[in-house]
Structure 1
Amino acid sequence: MNSTAQLLLRQTLSFHSSLSIGGASREQIYRHKSSYSSLQGLTLRYDTPIAPLLRSSSRIQLFSSRCIPKEKIADGFDSDRSFTNLPESDQVLIEKGNSFLEILKGSNSILPQVVLASTILALVYPPSFTWFTSRYYAPALGFLMFAVGVNSSESDFIEAFNRPAAIFAGYIGQFVVKPLLGYLFGTISMILLRLPTSLGAGIMLTACVSGAQLSNYATFLTDPQMAPLSIVMTSLSTASAVFVTPILSLLLIGKRLPVDVIGMVSSITQIVMVPIAAGLLLNRFLPRLSAAIRPFLPPLSVIVTALCVGAPLAINIQSVMSSFGASVLLLVVAFHLSAFVAGYFLGGVAFSNAHDVKALQRTLSYETGMQSSLLALALANKFFKDPLVGVPPAISVVIMSLMGFSLVMLWSSKRKDVPV
């Protein structure tokens, strides 16, 4: 690029920055209009290296959406002038690139269907998932946590922390209401149904882990404005799970089966805290790299989730299909159903006067009813010798996902007719 092009580019970027930060007068707009037109001409004449800069989707967004408010554009010049004059082949490439990125980013929309398909495939043909053994659970969960970190930012947390009462209610749902329900149904399994103690311990362990990242996605699909709040709720429960989950496990299960508290703290730190921190740091200090890999995380997360749903079911298929399998299935269903309902009514009681009470109720329902069953399964496989402890978490992965996304479809359809 020659010196004239560089000068014009710097002037235009500087002008656009003044628009986005403090605004500009009509006189400033017309004064810079000639520079903008000249730069536009240079864009057409010089194929390199300025053209790739302006053709990239990030630069298009910089010029058209971030830097120049629509009302400012209307006063001065048309925002589309610099790109409507691009050669048709370049416009097609831009449209194809954006379409491909949108497909990647939107792959999460098929997650409910993928969860259902994985469940059916695991039941019909278990070998399709049995290769994904328990040693892969921790890395898979770590990848999902890393994806959450990459897609999070400081602004999400700042905005959500303006509602401390809602965050506290979500925490109560996660680590008070849900563990009590787990203890109730675990006790029922051992005393009333006479099931093995390890199965009751598995139900209790499932109730002691932190919130599931799937609850954030379910909230986004139902109430997008509540997604940051859901992320904060899940992040807080995940962070404190390092200490809370081992303590709850000791209180609820310790008298029945030995619990390695120190080992659990170490494992949760490695599986949860380190990947989330790595994602946040990457997003903060290497934004270009983070932006480059972010579109590929949704499809990879869908694949990993499918494996994490199908593999536990396929590996434990004999236990699930055994004489006590139906009883465990009913108990897990009852546990999650009670948790979803309890979270919904908790939101209604605590925030009855809020203008968005229904959205809060749905968010708290997801947070209380959906927990990181994969984490419970990883802990069960590592810290309990009896393999039956892992059966309830394995079933919970499937039931939690199916019930959660069923509520997404139900509530999303109702919101089209009834305002929040």
Structure 2
Amino acid sequence: MSWSMSLTSFPSRIQTHPTIHLLRPIKPTISSPPKFPNLPTIRSVQGNFDHSPITPAKTRWETMLETAASLYPLYVTAGAVVACLKPSTFAWFVKRGPASYSLSLGFIMLAMGLTLELRDLLNLFVQRPFSILFGCAAQYTIMPAFGAIISKSLGLSPALSVGLILLGCCPGGTASNVVTLIARGDVPLSIVMTVCTTLGAVFLTPLLTKILAGTYVPVDAVKLSISTLQVVVAPILLGSYLQRTFPAAVKFVLPSAPLFAVLASSLLACSVFSENVVRFKSSIIGASLASDLSPVLCAKAILSGELGVIILSVFLLHFAGFFVGYLSAAIGGFREPQRRAISIEVGMQNSSLGVVLATSHFTSPMVAVPPAMSAVIMNIMGSSLGFFWRFINPSDSKDSPKVDDK
């Protein structure tokens, strides 16, 4: 999982020059430009992202690390299974919370900062402000609104309602960049949206959470802002500073940074899930006994209980993000790669931030359950959508309106 990218532009076509004949006058003729049948067609990266800049070939070790980092959904799913079967596995990490949670998220954001060149991202923001602002606005309107709507519609308890709303108010997750790459979407747009929504989370996440969840429990927006600044923005800026100041050292550790970030995120989500698994186990065992061990009836009884309601609410929240995010981008007239990037960015949240804020600022442990559950459900949904889109050429929809930033 790498967030770094060269944002250079290529010429869109080969320039030809008129032939100048010397020594003898001739009649002016109109000649066709020379043909180069063996040269590849090169498109402008600024206008079309079908072709990426030429990058140095990766070593076998770097390819292995990148492949291992892309298995994030597998890690978090396996960790959730372990948390169900033996919750004590994560006891050493849980006992040190919430400090261990904050340090883990800080490490994840530091890894992200090491891969970012803020100068290139700033240049891209200047070149394409409309698409970036549109995507960020969609992120902080669609998900918070549906978090409040779904929690109200399903009649969630106050603690779970706050957790779902807090999840909806979080910025985009870093895994969205990898999923956008798989889906053949606009990766630079996804990267800049992640950075901008993450920096904006210092103010918008606490403010929106207070507005939408303040009716359930008291929300201290100032403390939420300080925590977000400490565990998100500061590590990103530190990572970018280290990249610029110690490029050789960063280049050495950079290939392994995404994998460690993925493992830290999986550990964080599964640890929070293991805290509440005892409560869920009682309902699961009761449902199994009441249904005479029939698999279908057992699953139905489990999903109709509290665990099922949590799973359904998180699933609906992310589904709304993917679907409405894509729909809004289509109505806005964006190209298919931009639609996919905005859809994935809106639908995939930084669930790790939700876990840290929930465990640090709310007394009920149930507030952290929706963000922890999201780490499993969101990545399965996002990865599935990415693989589905991978087999659909984004350039097929030629008749759709197109919005280009100038």
TM-score by length of 2: 0.73
2:273 matched to 1:295? no
Shift of 1:121: 2.7
Shift of 1:381: 1.1
Give, in whole Å, the separation in 2 of the partners of 1:396 and 1:178: 13
Quote the RMSD (CA, aligned, Å).
Answer: 2.3
Paired residues for 1:349-368 under 5 Å: 349-351=331-333, 354=334, 357-368=335-346
Shift of 1:160: 4.6
Partner of 2:161: 200
Partner of 1:142: 106
**Of 340, 357, 370, which residue of structure 2 is paired with 1:392?**
370
What residue identity is the alignment partner of 1:348? A
Shift of 1:221: 2.4
Q: Return closer, same or farther for 1:382/1:112 CA change in 2, 3 Å cut-off.
A: closer
Is the Cα contact below 8 Å between 1:218 and 1:366 reproduced in 2? yes
Task: Choose 1 or 2 for highest CA Rg.
Answer: 1
Shift of 1:100: 2.2
Partner of 2:44: none
Q: Report the count of equivalent residues.
A: 317
What residue identity is the alignment partner of 2:332? A
Paired residues for 1:334-373 under 5 Å: 334-351=316-333, 354=334, 357-373=335-351
SS at match of 1:316: helix
What residue identity is the alignment partner of 1:183? A
Q: Return closer, same or farther for 1:386/1:310 CA change in 2, 3 Å cut-off.
A: closer
SS at match of 1:256: coil
Give, in whole Å, the separation in 1 of the partners of 2:320 and 2:140: 15
Name the structure where helix makes up a greater proportion of residues. 1
Q: Return closer, same or farther for 1:328/1:110 CA change in 2, 3 Å cut-off.
A: closer
Paired residues for 1:370-381 under 5 Å: 370-381=348-359
Give, in whole Å, the separation in 2 of the partners of 1:319 and 1:234: 34
Is the Cα contact below 8 Å between 2:73 and 2:376 reproduced in 1? no
What residue identity is the alignment partner of 1:331? S
Shift of 1:419: 8.4
Partner of 2:298: none
Shift of 1:291: 0.6
2:204 matched to 1:244? yes
2:87 matched to 1:126? yes
Is the Cα contact below 8 Å between 2:113 and 2:235 reproduced in 1? yes
What residue identity is the alignment partner of 2:102? A
Give, in whole Å, the separation in 1 of the partners of 2:231 and 2:369: 20
Partner of 1:185: 150
Give, in whole Å, the separation in 1 of the partners of 2:158 and 2:244: 46
2:379 matched to 1:401? yes
Partner of 1:216: 177
Higher alpha-carbon deviation: 141-150 or 155-164:
155-164
Q: Return closer, same or farther for 1:164/1:417 CA change in 2, 3 Å cut-off.
A: closer
Partner of 1:304: 264
Paired residues for 1:15-414 under 5 Å: 98-133=59-94, 134-135=97-98, 136-153=100-117, 154-190=119-155, 195-223=156-184, 226-321=186-281, 322=283, 323-351=305-333, 354=334, 357-414=335-392
Q: Return closer, same or farther for 1:392/1:345 CA change in 2, 3 Å cut-off.
A: same
Is the Cα contact below 8 Å between 1:181 and 1:335 reproduced in 2? yes
Q: Return closer, same or farther for 1:338/1:120 CA change in 2, 3 Å cut-off.
A: same
Give, in whole Å, the separation in 1 of the partners of 2:383 and 2:125: 23
Give, in whole Å, the separation in 2 of the partners of 1:366 and 1:101: 26
Partner of 1:80: none
Percent of matched pairs sharing the same residue:
31
Give, in whole Å, the separation in 2 of the partners of 1:169 and 1:319: 41
Partner of 1:79: none
**Mind listing any 5+ residue stretches in structure 2 that lack a counterpart?**
1-38, 40-56, 284-304, 399-406
TM-score by length of 1: 0.70
RCO comparison, higher one (Cα < 8 Å, 6+): 2
Is the Cα contact below 8 Å between 2:160 and 2:366 reproduced in 1? yes
Q: Return closer, same or farther for 1:295/1:419 CA change in 2, 3 Å cut-off.
A: farther
